[in-house]
Amino acid sequence: MIAGWETLPSALAAHLAISAAALALALLVATPLVLLMPGRPWLRRTVMGLASVVQTVPALALLALFFPLLVLLRNLTGLPVPSLGLLPSLLALALYALLPLLRGGAGGLAAVPDSVRDAARAIGMSASQRLFHVELSLAAPVVMGGVRTAAVWTIGAATLATMVGQESLGDLIFAGLQLQDWQQVLLGCVAAAALALIVDGALGWCQRGIAERRWAPAAKGLVLLGLLAVGVTGWWLHSRPATQVRPVLIGTKTFSEQYILAELIAADLRAAGQPTGVRSGLGSGIAFQSLAAGGIDISIDYTGTLWTQALGRSDVVPRADMLRILTEQLKSRYGVTVAARLGFENAYALAMRRADAERLGVRSISDLARVSAKLKLATDLEFLSRAEWMAMRSAYGLEFASMRAFTPVLMVAALKDGAADVITAYSSDGALAGADFVLLTDDRGALPAYDALLLVAPGRDDLARRLARYDGRISVDAMRIANWQADRPTSKRSPAEAARWLATETGLQR
């Protein structure tokens, strides 16, 4: 069976629900605006201008922007406004759907010929009769065209809601991308595309019915939409485990190590009779925020990341002090418990091709600083804006010929084929186990430690106790090999399979 198949019904149902809700909200906002537009050119200009500006913001950025906005709103009002999951997704997707709806509505009304408007007035129709029987009726096909566009966009953009912690078909796509499990990516994409096509087709029937003033096609469209909703809901209910208890949720960021460890812990908890689910593909900062807010129960995070992102510190302190301070402050400031230090580090590091390193005599970052001005650096998407890079740059005086950001899975390929000479890597990165690269040592201690920690949400001390036995059990070599099993291009293993190997290897399996 294709990986991700068992999560498909739930992801599909969530995807359809969030898309429908966002579209409904957008319709609720757009309708009065469109009806107020005729005769108010200033309103039309303002609203269309704003909607166009919104459209220039990439959907992913728009989703991400709602997170700080909602946090700010929560802090200002003191109300329990959720900043992750459903609410930001709903708001961002609705905002994104506004432009096509407004365009369709305003365009449709503007396209009603003046002679027809005039005739409607001249034969003695009231303002509301003119609006409903003439203007809206004539505009309806164009308006429906806008609804169709909005629906297709929303279904497409909803895949990105995964990044702010809302379940969607994006779960499959992002997990698959990270694991280079193209079947799973394809499954998510095909499901989203099929959903978009079916909805577009159904709305197309409705549009045709409206345009031709015939009930049959419109009814066909509505029946198709109804069947879709019933079918997806039914499949989801059918596939859902019978238990009514909310499962323990393990949140993961977007890389293999996180998926593997989540599967390891999930299998462990399930074996003990605890229903457990995995919310995969959360953005880096969002996983922690979601944990602190109780949206997920368990996450795997790293000391250096928490040091800067959760505590807002940029100083470098000894490893033991950092762990102690984090344990205290995460508890006092967020209620989050550090249940275990897993025993390996996933630190930011720089890697080079072995042949280059030997030719140039580079072993450490200090060595690299001598020759870096001629080299091309490839980083992950966030490294260049992180405090670690600032610290590394000022400690070593690093300058590169060029610097480009890549998605993590492509960085290794970039180094292999010469698109880059130096890449950011992680010390537990599986690719380092499988390629002829060298890791450069941080000889001046500029970077904080990145010890992997198991974190538990506030109020779940029961879980913290159960997870304490993981403390110090996973070595960096074991983690690197498990990562390589999931990341390697051939005879790839699923995260669950890699997790089983890791459990046996480390003796964690009972």
Does 116 engage in binding with other proteins (CB under 8 A)?
A: yes
Residue 451, H or E segment: strand 451-456
> To which residue do tokens 């919310």 refer?
279
Which two three-digit tokens encode residue 389?
């890079």
Q: Give yes or no for residue 129 binding other proteins (CB under 8 A).
A: yes
- Which amino acid, residue 224? L
* Cα 202 to Cα 82: distance, rounded to the nearest angstrom: 34
| 298-302/376-379 β-pairing | unpaired
Q: How far apart are CA 93 and CA 90, in angstroms?
A: 5
Binding residue for other proteins, selected from 32, 39, 41, 124, defined by CB under 8 A: 124
- Give yes or no for residue 121 binding other proteins (CB under 8 A): yes
Stretch that binds other proteins, among 116-124, 342-350, 430-438, 501-509 (CB under 8 A): 116-124
> Which string of DSSP letters, residue by residue, matches 406-450?
--HHHHHHHHHTTS-SEEEEETT-THHHHSSEEEEB-TT--SPP-
d(CA 59, CA 347): 30
E strand or H helix that includes residue 299: strand 298-302
Reading the block at residue 157, the tokens are 């953009």
Residues that bind other proteins (rule: CB under 8 A) add up to a total of 16
Part in contact with other proteins (CB under 8 A); list of ranges 59-67, 114-122, 227-235, 461-469: 114-122
Q: How far is the CB of 135 from other proteins (least distance, A)?
A: 11
Q: Note whether 115 binds other proteins by CB under 8 A.
A: yes
Which part of the chain contacts other proteins (CB under 8 A), choosing from 126-134, 225-233, 289-297, 312-320? Answer: 126-134
Minimum distance from CB of 292 to other proteins (Å)?
A: 56
Pick from 94, 138, 278, 323: which binds other proteins (CB under 8 A)?
Answer: 138
Query: How big is the CA angle at 449 (ends 433 and 427), to the nearest 5 degrees?
Result: 10
Residue 361 CB coordination number (10 Å):
9
Spatial CB neighbours of 318, under 8 Å, sequence gap ≥ 6 = none
Considering only 1, 76, 79, 123, the residue that binds other proteins (CB under 8 A) is: 123
What is the 8-class DSSP label of residue 510?
-
Q: How far is the CB of 34 from other proteins (least distance, A)?
A: 19
Binding segment for other proteins (CB under 8 A), chosen from 48-56, 121-129, 333-341, 389-397, is 121-129
2 near other proteins, judged by CB under 8 A: no
Among 69, 73, 81, 125, binds other proteins (CB under 8 A): 125
Distance from CA of residue 453 to its chain's centroid? 22
Closest CA to 348 of 308, 376, 402, 298: 308
* Site track for other proteins across 202-241, x = CB under 8 A: -----------x----------------------------
For position 128 contacting other proteins by CB under 8 A, the verdict is no
Cβ distance to other proteins smaller for residue 208 or 313: 208
Q: Which residues bind other proteins (CB under 8 A)?
A: 115-116, 118-126, 129, 134, 137-138, 213
